[in-house]
Amino acid sequence: MTGNGRFFYSMREGGYADCEKSKNRSCLIKYSSGGVIQFLLLDKNMNPLSERLAFCFHDQTIHTTFQTDKQTYGIKEEIKVDMLLSDYMQKPVEGNLSVSITDSKDVPADTCFNILTNLLLTSDLKGYIETPSFYFQKDNEKATQALDLLMLTQGWRRYDISSVIAGRMRKPEIKPETSFNISGRIKEIFILSKRKEYVLSISGIGANFNEITEIGKDGHFSFEGIEYPDGVGFSLQAIRAKGGSNQQQSIQIDGETLPEITSYIPQVKMPEDTIVAVHSDEYIAPMKNGMRGYMLDAVEVKAIYWGSTDYDKFSNEEINDPSNKDVRKFIQDMGIKVVTRWGTDDAVPQEEFYYKGTEVIAFIDDKFYKFGYGRDIIYDLSLNDIEEIIFLKNVDRGIVDELLMERGYYDVHTARKRTPSYYIYNILENKAQLPVLDIKTKQNFDSRFLGIYFRDGKDAREWGSTQNRKTIYPLGYQRPVEFYSPKYDTPEKKNDKTEDLRRTIFWKPDIKTDQEGTSFSFYSSDTPTTYSVVIEGLSDKGDIIYEVKEIKVK
């Protein structure tokens, strides 16, 4: 680096070097961990005048000793491995590694994308970089020139260096997320109601968690520092701190803000041999099942429900998924059309459900419900109140009529010998099959307020909806899943005739090495071949580790 000014360069450890005393006004930077480097030309007031991005090649200083207990192995044989990391002075180094072992014939080691190309190049460039390993050819002049052009065209600035030098530091607007939290607000159902103080309880479903907190008149609450795996639910209940009705307030949960998933990888035309390789299962199937064995398509077996197997069943966890907004949207997502009708004396609209032009017959808690009677499902029933929903698309009309007659909502003399489905829903009798919606509410929900226990909705008791209770299943952390690797540690297992056709033989992403290294073992498959061993990771000092080894199986 040459010039007539004063030279500084920063090092990873946090220091800098001043090259002002160099007589020839040049400075050679000998130390660098590799990757994209940003050069800035500043005036005497530290204002940037120009800049340049350059790439410094990475010289791997960490050596990986990969030692197996034998030179070659047989099929279904245990392979023991010892690994040790050392620096250029042969001193042991600690680090964190990922080791993947694959069959070289089916899954060769990726020579285009690896930890070096990702950390040192593609993560510091804009857009998609095709075959980044091409630019790491030190002895290829064309690759070096192409790499320099890449710095000029697709480089980007991770930090605003000019602002940093001027002392204008930007602070993060959002604090780093170190744990989960559940937040929301308690609101009175009636607008004219005065704000109250509340007590909110939360208990885990499938997790040992219970907590009670007092909420002020603003109604806002937040449970922080909660750790839970994905699939765990929480039950919340709000009551007034100083008595009064506990069914006149509702719980509103703040929605989760998740980043959008975008793909910057363009779709490319695959060569014919790649397309054939995708369907290599057709080649493996005869080996696994024999020449006279045929793989049949999967068959889903469903229990008969009300004489039909064509139905969709939704559990409480599926119903209360954060992506579901309300009952109306959930029913529409099932393929049911919601039609709103206003009567001359109706204070609220009535909803009717249709599936492929036929009105849906509904049962709630095993009781018949006509959408024109009493309160409406959409307005008086929340997702939190529902334990299970079953939507049957094609139920024989005779079975539907029997269900209606059993529940006492049909008078033969009054109906003049018409079928119940025609008399109640006015469905023409040429319809042989009818859609049915079966809703089961939770035990703590009293469905009588919907008016379904009475032939006339006017006689229904006003029991009120349990909106002060809510069940949620928020997104949690993923449970660790260990990679399955079979063990042939007994004669019975080794002599088993079931073929082992694994392509990925072994994978362990969390190997920790110490001063004495580390050890692990796995078993080979049934196929004589060569295994590709890809070792990637970082030392405790941040040095990048990438090596490819081989293991032979005969």
User: Mind spelling out the 3-state secondary structure of 369-430?
Assistant: ECCCCCCCHHHHCCHHHEEEEEEEEEEEHHHHHHHHHHCCCCCHHHHCCCCHHHHHHCCCCC
pLDDT tens by residue, 381-404: 778 888 899 999 988 888 887 777
- Average per-residue pLDDT for the chain: 77
Domain 175-291 has CATH 1.20.120: no
- pLDDT at 142 exceeding the cut of 80: yes
Q: pTM for the complete prediction?
A: 0.59
Q: What pLDDT is attached to residue 372? A: 52
pLDDT given for residue 98 in this prediction:
96
Write the CA distances from 471 to 181, 253, 321, 500, integer angstroms: 15, 10, 10, 45
Lowest-confidence segment of 71-80, 190-199, 356-365, 383-392 by average pLDDT: 190-199
| Rounded Cα–Cα distance for residues 212 and 198 (Å) | 11
Please write the tens of the pLDDT for every residue from 406-419. 655 555 544 455 67
Q: Above 80 in pLDDT, residue 139?
A: yes
Distance CA(420)–CA(402), nearest Å, equals 8
Q: What is the arithmetic mean of pLDDT over 369-375?
A: 52
Average pLDDT score over residue span 313-324: 84
Query: Which single residue is written with the structure tokens 């049915």?
Result: 436
In this predicted structure, the answer to whether residue 459 has a pLDDT above a threshold of 80 is: no
The pLDDT of residue 457 is 38
Superfamily the domain 63-107+503-553 falls into? Macroglobulin (MG2) domain (2.60.40.1930)
What's the rounded mean pLDDT across residues 325-354?
76
Mean pLDDT highest for which of 123-132, 317-326, 425-434, 484-493? Answer: 484-493
Average pLDDT over residues 440-447: 76
* Residues whose CB falls within 8 Å of the CB of residue 493, separated by 6 or more in sequence, listed in order: 76, 486, 487
pLDDT band at residue 235 under the 50/70/90 scheme: confident
Choice between 351 and 224, residue whose per-residue pLDDT is larger: 224
Q: What is the per-residue pLDDT for 84?
A: 95
Q: Helical H runs in 241-390? A: 272-278, 281-289, 316-319, 327-333, 377-380
Amino acid in the structure at residue 81: V
Which 3-state string (H, E, C) describes 418-466?
Answer: CCHHHHHHCCCCCCCEEEEEEEEECCCCCHHHHCCCCCCHHHCCCCCCC
Q: Tell me the average pLDDT across 245-263.
A: 69
Answer yes or no: is pLDDT of 428 > 90: no
Mean pLDDT of 258-287: 59
Q: Which residue has the higher pLDDT, 307 or 457?
A: 307
Instruction: Please choose, from the candidates 274, 95, 182, the residue with its C-alpha nearest in 3D space to the C-alpha of residue 476.
Output: 182
When pLDDT is cut at 50, 70 and 90, the band that residue 364 belongs to is confident
Higher-pLDDT residue of 179 and 441 is 441
Q: How confident is the model at residue 480 (pLDDT cuts 50, 70, 90)?
A: confident
Q: Which of 217-221, 320-324, 422-426, 430-434 has the weakest average pLDDT?
A: 422-426
The topology under which CATH files domain 311-469 is Ferric Hydroxamate Uptake Protein; Chain A, domain 1 (2.170.130)
Q: Write down the domain spans for the chain.
A: 32-61+111-171, 63-107+503-553, 175-291, 311-469
pLDDT at 525: 93
Q: Are 450 and 172 in contact (CB under 8 A)?
A: no
* pLDDT at site 407: 59
Q: Do domains 63-107+503-553 and 311-469 have the same CATH topology?
A: no
What does the alpha-carbon distance between residue 436 and residue 307 come to, in Å, rounded to a whole number? 12
E-state strands within 104-179? none
pLDDT tens for residues 159-182?
A: 777 788 778 888 888 777 777 888
The per-residue DSSP string of 196-250 comes to: --EEEEEEEESS--EEEEEE-TT-EEEEEEE--BTT-EEEEEEEETT-S-SSSEE
